Structure 1
Amino acid sequence: MAIQKHISLVLQLVIVALVFNRANGSSLKLGFYQNTCPGAEAIVMKTTANYIYQSPSLAASLLRLHFHDCFVRGCDGSVLLNSTTSNQAEKDAPPNLSLKGFEVIDAAKAAVEATCPRVVSCADILALVARDAIHLINGPFWPVPLGRRDGRVSIALESRSLPSPFANITTLKANFASKGLNVKDLVVLSGAHTVGVSHCSTIATRLYNFTGQGDTDPSLDPKYVPLLKSICLPNDKNTTLAMDPGSSQSFDEDYYKVVLKKRGLFQSDAALLNDKLASLYVKLYSQSHGYKFFKDFQDSMVKMGKIGVLTGKAGEIRRSCSLVN
């Protein structure tokens, strides 16, 4: 019953979005499957809800999966493809080895295929699942223009273009700019770190050997370091810790408060304070009580979801999200 009520509410929001946002400035459009597969969005929502209600932590993983897809070759579902004997695919590249949630995409695809074979792309399903998963944990809801088609190419080496958690602000700005995203988008999308966890191995250098002299990253709050070291012992590759301590399963603005305290987990989090405009946005969102952050997050997710999309007759509609046709 709870799932049905949530789906009903979401569909009402979609209808409102269709009325007020028909023109989106690209070849993607809201309600793309209204005639060819009218139940697609409800099917995806129901499938996603079944997983998220059992494991809310999957929401962060599914959002990350969408992000990693869009930053390599655009939002074409290439991150979902399996490697073959002759090619190592994106999902097997080092930055993607910790990705989770593929089973949710596969389940949603199977459910949609049972109703509308070869109509709805895996890339669109991934975009919808990421939105629905975040909304189901009380995060923002954003309109998802649809019409993406699936790419046929997935190359592990191309995953080097993903933003690194070790990157400085100059590199981050250049990386986002190459995708048509600005400083505001960088700060807003970094806010996704308000949910989820990371492994100790990601911050080991910051804690134990930042400059190769057995030192700690000076951009970390020195009062916070002992706690991190008590959780992450040297050479610990398995332990996980929250990216937004105390609020890692709540999609809220607390991440920005953590960054301002110099307790952001990654070097890329700390880097946001090394740019005048970026730091201003961090301060703004830390004081927004969620509203401003949610609104801008919606806008940046729509913008990100349009990166390098394949439309029209480009690409294909995969039968299985892990395999080209």
Structure 2
Amino acid sequence: MGVGYDSDEENTIEECPLADDLKLVAKQELREDDDIRTHSLRAMRNWIKKHPDIINCRTDAPFLLRFLRTKKFSVPMAQEMLERYLVIRQLYPQWYQKLDIEDPLISDIIDSGFLIPLPGRDEFGRCVLFSSIGRFDPYKYTADEMIRAYSLISESLLDDPENQIKGYNYTNDESGMLMGHLTIWSFTNVKRIIRILQNSIPMRHKASYFINVPNFADKFFTITVSFLSNKLKSRVKFFTGQKELQECIDPKYLPKEYGGEIPLATMIADLKKKLQSQRDKLLALDDMKININSKGKIISEFDDIQEELVGSFRKLEVD
């Protein structure tokens, strides 16, 4: 059942030691302690082993803890999310498979500096994914390629216990946005991606900041935010100007081009080195398989999006 991990590793990694400060956050926010973690990992592995539709799946602790921590150690909810994760990876291979730093298109997008995990964390210890839309060329690349670049970088972060426990901050600089950045998207795909991020990707989405959104994009962002759950809506904030950006993130951790200390080119080089070191592990994710023919309920959620969008637009018109 494991992908690139043997049973000896699964047994020895069970303790998953945490630093004291991280252990405290895990206990307070996720109910995690040694006993719950060990019991939950065992339950997850037994479930995978007996699952009639899972053909192949990683069973190492870092992978399973992605789901357990996201769902605060509710084993049934973690199992549901893992099942959904396996389904969407096969349902949308153009977004979630062949996550390869050596893919020329993906490599070019990363070279552009469009998306970078900052070297420092925010005031709450969250991993900061910093995007600059003006660095993404919408006339050269597609929305699918943007999502794959996001997926590659996200997957490289998901096994980190600090990221699993403290979550993620998405800080997005929208200056330099062109109409082309909007026209590469359909609202069907926007809603599809949001649904996947909320229900199928094991990440604790703790904050989303948008800076310098141009006026012509206001309606697009209004509709997009309307698709979020109420909890995630409350974590979205819009700001204007460089000064407010530096209030969101400690300036020293921003790229030098944004008032920080480290040049963006250095951050990109470090990221590419990390992605290259994880290349085999990231490509091995494609070995995981689930029989999606029996997952009609999950698939139908995405088939019904077009009809739901009609209702969303009507509500916006009324509002």
TM over 0.5: no
TM-score normalised by the chain length of structure 2? 0.30
Q: Which structure is higher in strand share? A: 2
TM-score normalised by the chain length of structure 1? 0.29
Q: Which structure is higher in helix share? A: 2
